[in-house]
Chain A
Amino acid sequence: NAGVTQTPKFQVLKTGQSMTLQCAQDMNHNSMYWYRQDPGMGLRLIYYSASEGTTDKGEVPNGYNVSRLNKREFSLRLESAAPSQTSVYFCASSEGPGIGIKNYGYTFGSGTRLTVV
């Protein structure tokens, strides 16, 4: 099925360990996003890539880095994991960034549940 694929689905890390969350989409979308979801809060944007070759910080970028490897893939890296990064991470994609009145739907992955102990 076409969509957004995230790996892994679950991960437990020790404080200070590093890891990369992978995301790939097969819809030829230009824009990709990483969000985190925490209890009692709405999803918050970590980083986004409006188009291949560009990345920008979102609302909560500290402690994370991203790579837009090609049009399909957008990875999120935690260099030194902290307990505050325990969360559910969602990757999403859209046809474009949506500027002004131009809007596009979003397709989300199934999420990665990350626990940092």
Chain B
Amino acid sequence: KNEVEQSPQNLTAQEGEFITINCSYSVGISALHWLQQHPGGGIVSLFMLSSGKKKHGRLIATINIQEKHSSLHITASHPRDSAVYICAVKDYGGSQGNLIFGKGTKLSVKP
């Protein structure tokens, strides 16, 4: 069972391009998280969403609860954005605190 699906699995872009990473989920959720993981590094929380849209610098995250879909956009991409981006959802009826994670999207931005 894949309750959280991300697309694409891998993405290569040229510096400056606009990037979109998609996340679809099948369960009822109370929140959706976008996380970033650099190669060999730890995991950093980018956004937590329960509705609408959030923006932080060049990153924008949107969520459509009715369609069970979220997107992470990166404007004016830069090589330092190269990382794995992970979508995770908090199942509304799930066990306390547990997140359901997607497998991640590996982004490589070439100079």
Instruction: Name A's B-contacting residues (CB within 8 A).
Output: 31, 33, 40-45, 48, 50, 56, 58-59, 90, 92, 94, 96-103, 105-111
Q: Are the C-beta atoms of A56 and B86 separated by less than 8 Å?
A: no
Residues of B within 8 A of A99 (CB): 96
Check if B92 is an interface residue, CB within 8 A of chain A: yes
Q: Are the C-beta atoms of A45 and B98 separated by less than 8 Å?
A: yes
Interchain residue pairs with CB less than 8 A apart (21): A40-B103, A42-B4, A42-B103, A42-B104, A48-B96, A48-B98, A56-B95, A58-B95, A98-B30, A98-B96, A98-B97, A101-B30, A101-B50, A103-B31, A103-B48, A105-B48, A106-B33, A108-B42, A108-B43, A111-B42, A111-B43
Known: A42-B102, A48-B95, A105-B33. 19 other contacts (CB 8 A): A31-B97, A33-B97, A42-B88, A43-B86, A43-B101, A48-B98, A50-B97, A58-B95, A90-B42, A92-B43, A98-B90, A99-B96, A100-B30, A102-B30, A103-B50, A103-B90, A106-B99, A108-B43, A111-B42
User: Chain B, interface size: which category?
Assistant: 20 to 34
Residues of A within 8 A of B103 (CB): 40-42
A40 and B9 CA atoms in complex are apart in Å by 10
Instruction: Name B's A-contacting residues (CB within 8 A).
Output: 4, 30-31, 33, 35, 41-45, 48, 50, 86, 88, 90, 92, 95-104
Residues of B within 8 A of A59 (CB): 98
Residues of A within 8 A of B90 (CB): 98, 103
Q: Are the C-beta atoms of B42 and A110 separated by less than 8 Å?
A: yes
